[in-house]
Each structure stands twice: as structure tokens, then as C-alpha cells.
């Protein structure tokens, strides 16, 4: 793969992920992580996903921070902070094929659970917030996928989309900040960073325009299908190099 091809792929992945994030409130990691891992490797792919998701969540929260439910979010973010180091430690010690298989399975399982609208009594109340936060912190640091546990918690708590989006963005800022501190920033070089930032900006503009035109249900279905395809691709790649 030439440098130009790699930059084109990097920009395309980040742009699509950013577009999805602005279109649905979250989803950058589900859509982008499998592709970034295949392009950059597990460590660098996850680190870039952490940085991009944090930045996009911060920009998105500017207009909605007053709707953040701090009482509900405190146990989530505290629990996530406790498990982020464990996620980094595990990811650093697993062979790359095993890590790819694990990431592929995590994405695929998470998407299927969200698709089915799974309701679990353990994910309700303060105890459920701790469980979801702990799982999200570990998954975010190890695979960049901290969102699905929060989605399942919100589903079991009967949050509306209006409630979910700003709280998911707040959670994204906090858990990704912890993950960046634990994992470090990706080594992209000046050209790579320029490509990623420009692609994120373009994706944000496109996503904002589409958000006014695409029905929420269809947008959600598209995100889940893209994420499922990415998870399966990563799983197949990992199995192929075992």
C-alpha cells in the first residue's frame, strides 16, 4: 500500500466515522475502529479512535451540555476511570491476531445486543451504571469501543434519544480522555494528522446536513449495519493470521 493510498483510506475512514457521529450522536468508534485497526494496527487504530471520538464529542456537546444528567453520569465515569488501565494492560500483552479476533467479537456481539434491544436487570439503577461504566472503560481502552455498554444502560433506563445524545457525548469526552492518558496519542506524523483533522471536519459538516434529512431510525440501522460489517471483517482478518 502506497503512502497516498494509506492517507486516502485514513481520511475516508475518519470522515465516515465523523459523519455517523454527527448524524446519530455517537457511533464513530463502532464504524471506524475495525477499519482503523486493519489500516494502522490495533494499538495505533485504537489510539486514533480515542482522540477522534473525544474531539467530536467535545464539539457536539457545546450546544447540549445543560442536558447532561450529572447524577446519573458520575458512577458511569468513575467506574470507567477505574478499568481503563486494565484495558490498556490487556491490549498491550495480547498477540495481534488474538487482539483482532477479540475486537471483532466485541464489535459483533455489541452490535447484535443493541440490535436486539437487550434488557438486563443488572444494567438498571446505580449498580447498573457502575457495571456499564466499568465495562465501557475497559472496552474503550482495549478496543476503542466504550459506547455499547452505555447504549445498553440507556436502553434499560428508558432514556429518550434527546436525553441520550448529550450524556453519551459527555461520557465520550471523559472516557476517551482517560483512554488517551493511558494509551497515548497515535504516531501519525504531520501528514496523517492533517488528513485526520480535515476528514473529521468534512465528516462533521456532511453529518450535520444529513441529520436534518435522514430519519433517525434509518440512520441508526445504517450505523449498526456498518459496524456489524466492520466487526465481522476484523474477526475474519484475525482468524486468517492465527
Q: Measured at the alpha carbon of residue 136, what is the angle toward residues 133 and 137, in degrees to the nearest 5?
A: 85
Between 23 and 143, residue with greater pLDDT: 143
* 3-state SS, residue 230: helix
- Set of cell numbers at residue 160: 429518550
* pLDDT band per the 50, 70, 90 thresholds, residue 198: very high
Q: Which pairs count as long-range contacts for 119-125, CB under 8 Å and 24+ apart, including other chains?
A: 119/155, 119/156, 120/152, 120/156, 123/152, 123/153, 123/156, 123/157, 124/156, 124/157
Between 71 and 84, residue with greater pLDDT: 84
Least confident of 32-36, 66-70, 226-230, 235-239: 226-230
Q: Is the pLDDT of residue 1 over 70?
A: no
- Set of cell numbers at residue 124: 438498571
The predicted pLDDT at position 194 comes to 93
- Set of cell numbers at residue 181: 492518558
- 209 Cα distance to chain centroid: 22
- Set of cell numbers at residue 93: 500483552
Domain ranges of the chain: 44-241
The predicted pLDDT at position 118 comes to 66
**Prediction pTM value:** 0.83
Between 117 and 80, residue with greater pLDDT: 80
CA distance readout (Å), 189 to 18, 186, 192: 20, 9, 5
Q: Is the pLDDT of residue 122 over 70?
A: no
pLDDT in tens, 132-147: 899 889 988 988 878 7
- Set of cell numbers at residue 150: 452505555
CB 157 within 8 A of CB 124: yes
Rg of the chain over all Cα atoms, to the nearest angstrom: 16
The predicted pLDDT at position 120 comes to 66
Q: Is the pLDDT of residue 181 over 50?
A: yes
The predicted pLDDT at position 178 comes to 94
Closest CA relative to residue 76, chosen from 136, 17, 10: 136
Amino acid at each position: 500500500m502506497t503512502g497516498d493510498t494509506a492517507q486516502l483510506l485514513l481520511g475516508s475512514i475518519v470522515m465516515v466515522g465523523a459523519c455517523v457521529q454527527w448524524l446519530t450522536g455517537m457511533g464513530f468508534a463502532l464504524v471506524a475502529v475495525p477499519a482503523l485497526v486493519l489500516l494502522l494496527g490495533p494499538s495505533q487504530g485504537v489510539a486514533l479512535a480515542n482522540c477522534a471520538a473525544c474531539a467530536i464529542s467535545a464539539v457536539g456537546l457545546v450546544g447540549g451540555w445543560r442536558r447532561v444528567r450529572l447524577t446519573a453520569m458520575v458512577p458511569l465515569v468513575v467506574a470507567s476511570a477505574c478499568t481503563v488501565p486494565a484495558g490498556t494492560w490487556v491490549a498491550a500483552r495480547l498477540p495481534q491476531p488474538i487482539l483482532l479476533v477479540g475486537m471483532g467479537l466485541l464489535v459483533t456481539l455489541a452490535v447484535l445486543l443493541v440490535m436486539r434491544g437487550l434488557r438486563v436487570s443488572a444494567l438498571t439503577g446505580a449498580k447498573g451504571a457502575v457495571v456499564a461504566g466499568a465495562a465501557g472503560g475497559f472496552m474503550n481502552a482495549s478496543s476503542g469501543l466504550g459506547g455499547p455498554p452505555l447504549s445498553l444502560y440507556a436502553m434499560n433506563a428508558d432514556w429518550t434519544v434527546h436525553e441520550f445524545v448529550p450524556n453519551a457525548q459527555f461520557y465520550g469526552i471523559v472516557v476517551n480522555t482517560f483512554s488517551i492518558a493511558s494509551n497515548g496519542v497515535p504516531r501519525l506524523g504531520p501528514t496523517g494528522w492533517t488528513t485526520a483533522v480535515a476528514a473529521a471536519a468534512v465528516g462533521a459538516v456532511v453529518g450535520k446536513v444529513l441529520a436534518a434529512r435522514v430519519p433517525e431510525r434509518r440512520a441508526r440501522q445504517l450505523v449498526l449495519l456498518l459496524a456489524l460489517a466492520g466487526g465481522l471483517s476484523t474477526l475474519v482478518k484475525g482468524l486468517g493470521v492465527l
